[in-house]
Amino acid sequence: MSRVPRHLFVPDNVRENAYVDVPLPIGEGQTISAPSMVAIMCDVLDVRDGDSVLEVGTGWGYHAAIMSVLAGHGMVYTVERLPSLAMRAREIYRDLGFINIDVVVGDGSQGLPEHAPYDRISVAAAAPAIPQPLVDELKDGGRMVIPVGQYYQDLYLVEKADGKVHTSTKGGVAFVPLVGKYGFK
Ligand code: SAH
């Protein structure tokens, strides 16, 4: 986390709070998670060097940047439905020289078949239920973290092993809604 300058991943008007452990508004009614939440999600997800990672909900790109450091020689594909946010994230990655992150505009609730399957999937917006396309795009031995619920959510860990899917909960969280085909309408 010390290698990712959070103040460059938030708008000017909230920059002075970039190193306070709180969520921050990034425009378009969206927020980025508190650094401790990003850390918990990365910890639960257990991203490893060489992993192919899918993130749903780029925002300004802070969380994906952290995962790209953890993925090392691997690749992070991050999907954002709002083009203005995706463009901003792309600019930041270009300026800072993050080369193993690919930002895609689209509805990530439907997954990202082009680069599937993934070792790890991290969903940064709250879903009504675990989207089946994301489960399908997880490799055997893979893991996904995803907040599920409407107003208050639980963080779910989804693990696929020997073709079976096992889910467990990791505590209460609060995220903006996942909007899309397998999200909220
Ligand atoms: N990962 C960010 C947090 C982004 S907030 C971080 O650094 O902390 C969640 C983002 O999910 C918002 O930008 C929102 O626009 C996006 N989002 C919501 N539904 C989506 C969907 N179906 N596909 C892709 N992005 C989505």
Q: What is the pLDDT of residue 152?
A: 86
Identify whether 125 is part of a domain: yes
The total domain count for the chain is 1
C-alpha–C-alpha distance, residues 8 and 80, integer Å: 18
What are 111-120's pLDDT values in tens digits? 999 999 999 9
SS3 state at 150: coil
List the residue whose alpha carbon is closest to atom 19 of ligand 1. Answer: 178
- Write down the mean pLDDT value for the chain: 97
How many CB atoms within 10 Å of residue 174? 14
- What CATH number does residue 166 fall under? 3.40.50.150
Calpha distance 155→44 (Å, rounded): 10
Q: Is residue 162 in a domain?
A: yes
**Which of 4, 81, 84, 146 to probe ligand 1 with, by most ligand atoms within 8 A of CB?**
81
Q: Could you tell me if residue 1 is inside a domain?
A: no
Tell me the average pLDDT across 127-151: 97
Q: Given this model, what pLDDT does residue 62 score?
A: 98
Query: Considering the chain, what percentage of its residues have pLDDT values greater than 90?
Result: 97
Length of the chain: 185
Which tens digit of pLDDT belongs to each residue from 78-119? 999 999 999 999 999 999 999 999 999 999 999 999 999 999
* Domain presence at residue 156: yes
Identify whether 183 is part of a domain.
no
Structural domain boundaries enclosing 152: 6-173
What pLDDT digit, counting tens, does each position of 48-64 carry? 999 999 999 999 999 99
Would residue 180 count as lying in a domain? Answer: no
CA of 166 to the centre of ligand 1 (A): 25
| Residue 151 pLDDT > 90 | no
